[in-house]
Structure 1
């Protein structure tokens, strides 16, 4: 596949494909992990396209919002990598449906099954680019 980002040879980056609802890890122009299924944000809390960078990595992150559009939530998410404010790639134990819909996605984060989130967490470093795109285009 054609990389969605113009990486230097060997440069690591995370690709989040909003069209195919997948996450992959790349090194330069080669996929080295994935793609794996993911659930990203949906209306009215979308995941926004762009180029970001892993800012913080937390083995277990406390996520709480008393004013979410679908009601309050208070949960712990494993293998969390924040890339823009409160937006993160993380594992989730509470999701039972892995089919992306227009409603019922995440609150803007990118959800992975915990085992897959740990693999990506172990591979990435703070500073790793996170490229969020649709159908291969940023």
Structure 2
């Protein structure tokens, strides 16, 4: 009886909650449809000065004069291409600056991501997810076991839900029949929301459909460190949601 129930749960997850999963983020962007050019070639380098010009220049180590130059544009375009920000036209706009701010916050976390004490330290082993900084880590009490590492959580309208959760299903080669995509190293902790690997940059906008996207190496490490029944604590709010 128990085995039959488990099979029904797994089947429901593969069909109804393929929910996943940041899956729209895996859909090929419009600029990459058949016959279209890649993002880096889709737009010519802009001569326009963006609203975040000075901040972007400072982040990239350029002369922070707040005025666009050919060198500025090339550097900004390189950053945009690396982080899958489209169009990669070298314009210092809000999406580009938001990605840079996120990287700054992640760097500042260093090896003490729970300095503010927001993730519980009385639960033993727990996976912490900070949506504001787009970071996750595993701790055991106050001891950091792994991370922090970058994530890609739910986009506007599909925000990853906050609160104390628990891993209830693990599926190493999970496949969403709803979105027709693989979700390697899936660990479900809130309905159809799971940790799982994706093959795209973590800073790629706009975000997932609720799941906590991870780089493959990090998702694999989480698979080895966590087990069914382990706690997951999600807090904060993703910028732009």
- After TM superposition, is the score higher than 0.5? yes
- Aligned residue for 2:154, secondary structure, equals coil
Say how many residue pairs are matched: 123
Cα distance in 2 for partners of 1:41, 1:64 equals 20
Q: 2:128 aligns with which of 3, 11, 15?
A: 15
The equivalent of 2:145 in structure 1 is 32
Matched, 1:59 2:203: no
Q: Secondary structure at the match of 1:32?
A: strand
**Which structure's residues are more often helix, by fraction?**
2
Shift of 1:6: 3.0
* Residue of structure 1 equivalent to 2:194: 88
Q: Could you give the per-residue CA deviations for residues 62-102 of structure 1, whole angstroms, max 9, x where no partner exists?
A: 1243xxxxxxx320111110001111011112x2x32164x
SS of the residue 1:118 aligns to: helix
Aligned-partner Cα distance in 1 for 2:202–2:116? 25
Q: Which structure 1 residue ranges, 5 or more long, are not aligned?
A: 66-72
Question: Which of 1 and 2 has higher RCO (CA within 8 Å, sep 6+)?
Answer: 1
Compute the RMSD of aligned alpha carbons.
1.7
Provide the C-alpha distance between the structure 2 equivalents of 1:62 and 1:112, rounded to a whole number of angstroms.
16
Q: Secondary structure at the match of 1:51?
A: strand
Distance in 2 between the 1:111 and 1:8 partners?
26
Select which of 203, 221, 238 maps to 1:99: 203
Match of 2:213 among 111, 114, 120: 111
CA separation in 1, counterparts of 2:232 and 2:218?
16
Q: 1:68 matched to which residue of 2?
A: none
TM-score by length of 1: 0.82
1:69 corresponds in structure 2 to none
Q: Which structure is larger by alpha-carbon Rg, 1 or 2?
A: 2
TM-score, scaled to structure 2: 0.48
